[in-house]
Amino acid sequence: MPVPAAALVAVAEPRRAAARGNGTAALYTGVPRVRVAVEEGGADETDLLAARVRLLEGFVARAELSDCTQLALQWLAEVLHLTQSICLIRPEAEQVLYVIGSYGIAGSGIASYTISLEDWNNPLVPAFIHRKAMFFPAPHSAADRRRRPSTPFEDLPFHAVPLGVSGFDEDAFGLLLVGDTRPLDADFHWFASVLGQRIDQILRQQALTEGDRRQGRERSLLYSIINAVTDPILLTDTEGRLLIANARALTLFTASEEESEGRRGAVRMNNMLLSSALSSKAIEETAATRRELLLVNPVDGSDLVFELLSTVTEDPRQGSGVVSILRNVTDLRRASEEIEDNYRKMRIAEVQARAESDRLNLIIDSVADPIVVTDAGGATSLMNEPSERLFTIPMYASEIEQRWVQTNDAHFSSFIAGMLVSADQRRVGEIGLVDPKTGEAMPVEAIAGKILSEHGELTAVVTILHDRREAIEKARLYEQLKQASDELERKIQAATADIAQQNELLRRQAIELEQASALKSQFLANMSHEFRTPLNAMLGYTSMLLQGVAGAVEPAVKRQLARIESNGRHLLTIINEILDISRIEAGRMPLQLSTFRVPDLVGEVKAELEPIILRSKLAITLDLPKDLKPITSDRQKVKQILLNLLTNALKFTHHGGVTIAARLAARDRRLSLSVTDTGIGIAPADQERVFEDFRQLDNSPTRAYGGTGLGLSICRRLAQMLDGEITVQSQVAKGSTFTLTLPTKGRK
């Protein structure tokens, strides 16, 4: 189009019809009407008008959202000299703005940049929601930087302009970010207006296309759903004519001309019966109705009784209709009769079982020995009076009596668990029980047998417990008599033996004892692998059983397996401690010196004991100087000592907290690591005894705290190997402080 040299003043007037029109013509409603005025600079206005026309023609030629956006941002840089820009769009029904185009922004992260509309702390969200343009200058302080949103512009100034159709109150559908310090003029606002109109057109066309596809998919899915239903489903009009039916309904109410006359007659009869059932009276009812409907099977001519469920539906285009579902009542009645028959058989079986239980109670109550009947899951279902005395906590029982009964139950449950997992029909073994009245040890012989059903399934296990105390006492007396006889015979032989041979024998025995004592520690130190390997294997198989690797495990069996695993791990800890003592005594504990940082070691120890710390609910405080220099020592042995000290602090502390502190004496070149707790404390007379082998302050069988009594002994020996020492300061009921002192440069 030829344009005169006079200046052109463009005035944009977007209209509602242009914003909501379809096709290419709608775009040109955004083309400004032009007034011609004789002014200076007319050539520049002509170039701008031509550039606007090129932009609109580019919009018309492109149907993809990303293509139109990229063209617009390139036009923005070339014509209006805004060389950095980002365009974000919110998809329908989503609360996130995604980047669909950018220009002049470096970096690979621009494609993944998003803005969550649920994050109201982001200043861009209110600007988008309220359709308000905002300018963000370059920050001059840390406070300015915190108030700015996070964008690919980083600290550069930028404008944020919401994209929408001008003149309407609808929400914005996009956001345009432009990097520049200049105010946005009328040319930019014209650009934002036509870009918003074009994006709105593309989004609406995509929504219409997607809606048609979704409607087709929903219609196909609806037909698939009703055809998958085994009950006949159909839709009829007010005259009873069939409109929609699933495959099952078509077999009852439709027949082609090629089919037999009998089938067509049955179909006509069915349609007549259905029309009669769906009379005008049924249509007048507003609620769903139920009635029985007798139909003919078109295949074999047999009678079919259905329960008809019908309801009236209204469609503004098609009018009234009746939706009907036919449910085969014959199958339901047959199932109901079978349920009633099974229920009657179950009641008869219950009566028989109750009678058998009464007879069994009479039998076992007449037996003096304890008898226990357990089910297939290991739960006790029946026991006689002697058994109740062993395994039932009596009323007003003391705490120690309750513990004795619980111990009996645990030992018996372990025996039954072994019986259930074995293939033997009968099992004989010994169980160590306790008399709940006196606390006397009560060894019993358990004889258990499985009771199987007629199908070979395990139904119960009957166990008879025989008290062996009398037999053991007789055996003990006999053994004492035998030992006395043997002792008398040995004394007679000793009196007549040669004194020289006796002295030689004593000398050899002394040598052998010395060798055995020296070899004991050597043997245990060499047997570390042989001891740990089978025990670790047993723990591994137990863990696999608990995890169900070999199949589902009954809860009662799982409890027993958990007890086996817990006791196995306790045994492994004891073996490790005994082996450590033996290796130290045999000189087989080498030193591995390395340089390490104490705070890293303390953090590692704290992480390993994190489950115990969480379970104890104690506060762990670290008092480590920031300028603490690395030390040279055996890192693993220092870690073992610190682990033991922290474990003891957590075990014996019920309230308060634990503090781990480190202090460096630069003059002596020694480091002190201390673990302080607020626990039960140690009496002054016992503070040195706790470092002895197998020494515990409470050695009674019912002590409240477990352990072997080797932990602190091993720690002291390891500290001595490292040229260090362990000391303790404690007060009863106030807490203890164990301090490990080490040289900062270990011996070579």
Residues ≥6 apart with Cβ < 8 Å to 645: 675, 715, 738, 740
517 burial (CB, 10 Å; 0-12 / 13-18 / 19+) is exposed
Q: Dihedral sign for Cα 306, 309, 315, 319, please.
A: positive
- Token pair of 650 as six digits: 């957590």
pTM, entire model? 0.33
Q: Which CATH number do you get for residue 651?
A: 3.30.565.10
* In a domain? residue 294: yes
* Separation of alpha carbons 100 and 66, rounded Å: 6
* In a domain? residue 681: yes
Type of residue numbered 555 = P
Q: Which residues pair with 657 in a beta bridge?
A: 619
Residues ≥6 apart with Cβ < 8 Å to 542: 561, 564, 565, 568
* Separation of alpha carbons 626 and 73, rounded Å: 54
Confidence at residue 451, expressed as pLDDT on a 0 to 100 scale: 85
* Mean residue pLDDT across the chain: 80
Residue 77, H or E segment = helix 65-79
* Separation of alpha carbons 117 and 96, rounded Å: 6
Q: Which CATH number do you get for residue 554?
A: 1.10.287
Question: Using the 8-state DSSP alphabet, how is residue 745 labeled?
Answer: B
Across 85-106, b (16+ Cβ under 10 Å) vs e yields bbbbbbeeeeeebebbbbbebe
Confidence at residue 523, expressed as pLDDT on a 0 to 100 scale: 65
* In a domain? residue 365: no
Confidence at residue 227, expressed as pLDDT on a 0 to 100 scale: 78
- Token pair of 477 as six digits: 């007396």
CA 182 to each of CA 123, 163, 178, 346: distance values in angstroms, whole numbers, following the listed order = 20, 19, 10, 89
β-pairing verdict for 657-665 and 619-623: parallel
For 510-525, the pLDDT digits (tens) are 787 767 656 666 666 5
> Does 34 share its domain with 128?
yes
Residues counted in the chain: 748
Confidence at residue 317, expressed as pLDDT on a 0 to 100 scale: 64
β-pairing verdict for 158-163 and 593-596: unpaired
Question: Using the 8-state DSSP alphabet, how is residue 84 labeled?
Answer: -
DSSP characters over 159-180: EEEEE--TT--SPP-EEEEE--
Domain count, the chain: 4
Q: Are 324 and 289 in contact (CB under 8 A)?
A: no
CA 90 to each of CA 93, 94, 143, 179, 340: distance values in angstroms, whole numbers, following the listed order = 8, 7, 30, 21, 61
Across 30-52, b (16+ Cβ under 10 Å) vs e yields bbbeeeeeeeeebeebbebbebb
Type of residue numbered 373 = V
Bin 73: left if φ > 0, else alpha if -120 < ψ < 50, else beta.
alpha
Residue 60, H or E segment = helix 42-61
> Does 193 share its domain with 95?
yes
Residue with tokens 């111990």: 407
* Distance, CA of 688 to chain centre: 47
> Does 575 share its domain with 657?
no
- Token pair of 20 as six digits: 């909501």
Count CB neighbours of 609 within 10 A: 17
Count CB neighbours of 676 within 10 A: 20
> Does 560 share its domain with 611?
no
Q: Are 462 and 448 in contact (CB under 8 A)?
A: yes
> Does 304 share its domain with 181?
no
Residue with tokens 């390997």: 533
DSSP characters over 362-389: HHHHT-SS-EEEEETTS-EEEE-HHHHH
Phi, psi of 639 (to 5 degrees): -65, -40
* Separation of alpha carbons 352 and 355, rounded Å: 5
Question: Using the 8-state DSSP alphabet, how is residue 130 labeled?
Answer: T
Q: Which CATH number do you get for residue 19?
A: 3.30.450.40
- Token pair of 711 as six digits: 């932990």
- Token pair of 666 as six digits: 């630069």
- Token pair of 14 as six digits: 């977007």
Q: Which of 306, 334, 362 is the last residue of a domain?
A: 334
* In a domain? residue 481: no
Question: Using the 8-state DSSP alphabet, how is residue 728 labeled?
Answer: E
- Token pair of 40 as six digits: 């200076």
* Separation of alpha carbons 645 and 275, rounded Å: 89
> Does 198 share its domain with 286?
no
Q: Which of 583, 601, 622 is the last residue of a domain?
A: 583
* In a domain? residue 359: no
Q: Which of 583, 615, 648 is the last residue of a domain?
A: 583
- Domain residues for the domain of 616 are 590-743
Q: Are 659 and 618 in contact (CB under 8 A)?
A: no
Residue 743, helix vs strand vs coil: strand
* Separation of alpha carbons 679 and 605, rounded Å: 20
> Does 568 share its domain with 616?
no
* In a domain? residue 436: no
> Does 59 share its domain with 204?
yes
Confidence at residue 21, expressed as pLDDT on a 0 to 100 scale: 39
For 694-742, the pLDDT digits (tens) are 666 554 444 445 556 678 888 998 999 999 999 999 999 899 999 999 9
* Distance, CA of 576 to chain centre: 33
DSSP characters over 25-58: GGGGGGSPEEEE---TTHHHHHHHHHHHHHHHHH
374 burial (CB, 10 Å; 0-12 / 13-18 / 19+) is buried
Type of residue numbered 322 = V
- Token pair of 101 as six digits: 């185009």
* Separation of alpha carbons 735 and 13, rounded Å: 85
Q: Are 246 and 225 in contact (CB under 8 A)?
A: no
* Separation of alpha carbons 337 and 333, rounded Å: 6
Residues ≥6 apart with Cβ < 8 Å to 516: none
Residue 96, H or E segment = strand 96-103
Residue 605, helix vs strand vs coil: helix
* In a domain? residue 276: yes
> Does 171 share its domain with 282?
no
CA 514 to each of CA 493, 503, 505, 508, 585: distance values in angstroms, whole numbers, following the listed order = 27, 17, 14, 10, 15
Q: Which residues pair with 573 in a beta bridge?
A: none
301 burial (CB, 10 Å; 0-12 / 13-18 / 19+) is exposed
Q: Are 195 and 176 in contact (CB under 8 A)?
A: yes
Residue with tokens 């106030």: 734
> Does 58 share its domain with 178?
yes
Confidence at residue 604, expressed as pLDDT on a 0 to 100 scale: 93
pLDDT along the chain (748 residues), means of 10: 29 33 40 36 74 90 88 92 92 87 82 88 88 90 86 90 72 87 89 89 81 73 78 78 80 82 85 77 51 82 81 72 79 77 88 80 75 85 82 84 87 86 85 85 87 83 85 86 86 78 80 70 62 79 83 84 77 73 73 92 91 89 92 92 92 93 88 95 89 65 56 89 93 94 82
CA nearest 294: which of 279, 305, 281, 308?
305
> Does 201 share its domain with 237?
no
* Separation of alpha carbons 77 and 257, rounded Å: 73
* In a domain? residue 186: yes
- Token pair of 465 as six digits: 């417990």
Confidence at residue 747, expressed as pLDDT on a 0 to 100 scale: 64
* Separation of alpha carbons 623 and 477, rounded Å: 64
> Does 568 share its domain with 614?
no
